[in-house]
Amino acid sequence: MQGKRLRVGVIGVGHLGEYHVQKYKTIPTVQLVGIVDINSVRAEEISRRYEVRSFPRHQDIVGMVDAVSVAVPTEVHFQVARDVLSRGVHMLIEKPITYRLEEADALLNLAQKNGLVLQVGLVERFNPAVVKMESLLNRPVFLESHRMNLFTQRGLDVDVVLDLMIHDLDIFLHAVQAEVKEVHAVGMSVITDKTDIANVRIIFENGAVANLTASRVSNKILRKIRVFQADAYLSVNCVKRHLHVIRLDTKGRYPEEVPQLSATKMEFPDQDPLADEISSFVNAVSNGSQPLVTGQDGRRALGVALGIIEQIEGGCRHFQAIC
């Protein structure tokens, strides 16, 4: 792809897909060929707003592009993604990669067979505060996340584990770099017929422990990550894009003096994680390199998420029920 503009399309231009359109339009090395949506009214609206051609079916655009973003409902991820990869088109697919591991494996095999970039849209990995936190990791022993959202009508095709918690699963799996040994999960339905609140404790083979909580029926938005390790305590506010680092300060002190803590705050207010995610995808396709968040990363996060869902569904899932 060196030396010419990358031809891209966006399949599915609902709330999130529109943001993909916006980001592609700002990249000089990209030609946005068109957008796809089965909702003709929405397709026409986006086509007019961004001055881009619209198509009613994804099959109509795959022969005209080098790469696409796929932001359709999860229930049709596999069908659309299989068609895209079968036609030799690179793909950035929103999370979760699919509903089922066997489908994810089929997509991974298809991408590998055709030499294609398959990136999964786990955008929180591109949050600059998370990126900086990852650069400071040193064998973390305890990790904790709280991801709370107000209730909306978006994302209700999946439960809260695949909707919200999967971001933190991906981050922690990448941070710990060890196999999962045990999973202990609880959750319940509150508004929808799926799990709306979930908590899980994960024990890794290397002894590290992670505790994750997610809710989409909170009265406020909260997205925080905390990491405890031998040399530091790291705290990330994903919404504000702040990172606090607390370390033991022993410099210039006599042995008999009480150790003190030093605190550093880093702020990244002007960076755009979705723009960085899409730029990473464009660079991987253009340079023939590995994307930051691979299809295998998406598959691994899905595998743990499905295990959590299975455990929750085997227990009590209904609000105010007596277990």
**How many degrees, rounded to 5, is the angle at CA 284 between CA 279 and CA 290?**
125
Element (H, E) at 226: strand 222-229
Structurally, the chain folds into a number of domains equal to 2
- The answer to whether residue 282 sits within a structural domain is no
Question: Which stretch of 33-37, 38-42, 318-322 has the lowest confidence by average pLDDT?
Answer: 318-322
The helix or strand, by DSSP H or E, that contains position 295, with its residue range, turns out to be helix 295-313
Instruction: Taking residues 158-183, report their average pLDDT.
Output: 96
3-state helix, strand, coil in the chain (%, to 5): 35, 30, 35
Structural domain contains residue 164: yes
| 249 and 131 housed in the same domain | yes
Residue 234 and residue 159 share a domain: yes
Average pLDDT on 88-105 reads 97
Residue that terminates a domain, selected from 116, 138, 172: 116
Q: Tell whether 178 and 241 lie within a shared domain.
A: yes
* CA-angle at 209, arms to 206 and 210, nearest 5°: 130
**Per-residue pLDDT band at 2 (split at 50, 70, 90):** low
Distance set, CA 247 to CA 93, 232, 263, 265 (Å): 38, 5, 7, 12
- Looking at the fold, whether 194 and 159 belong to one and the same domain comes out as yes
- Between the alpha carbon of residue 137 and those of residues 75, 145, 313, the distances in Å are 36, 16, 34
Do both 223 and 253 map to the same domain?
yes
| 296: in domain | no
One domain for residues 21 and 82: yes
Buried/exposed code over 71-105 (b: 16+ C-beta within 10 A; e: otherwise): bbebebbbebbebbbebebbbbbbbbbbbeeebbe
Question: Is residue 136 domain-resident?
Answer: yes
Reference 36, options 56, 59, 15; nearest CA is: 56
* Residue range(s) defining the domain that contains residue 172: 125-271+304-313
Task: Check whether 267 has a pLDDT greater than 70.
Answer: yes
- Residue 23: which CATH number? 3.40.50.720
Beta bridge partners of 188: 197
- Residues 142 and 106 grouped into a single domain: no
The percent of residues in the chain predicted with pLDDT above 70, rounded, is: 93
Residues 232 and 263 occupy one common structural domain: yes
User: Which among 273, 211, 203 has a CA at the least distance from the CA of 19?
Assistant: 273
- Among 81, 116, 151, identify where a domain stops: 116
Least confidently predicted of 1-10, 234-243, 306-315: 1-10
pTM of the model: 0.92
Q: What is the arithmetic mean of pLDDT over 67-80?
A: 96
Query: Is residue 220 one of the residues assigned to a domain?
Result: yes
| Of 63, 87, 116, the domain-final residue | 116
In a domain, 299, yes or no: no
The Cα–Cα gap between 183 and 24 comes to 39
Residue linked to tokens 């941070």: 175
Is 289 a member of any domain? no
Q: pLDDT band for 193, please (50, 70, 90 cuts).
A: confident
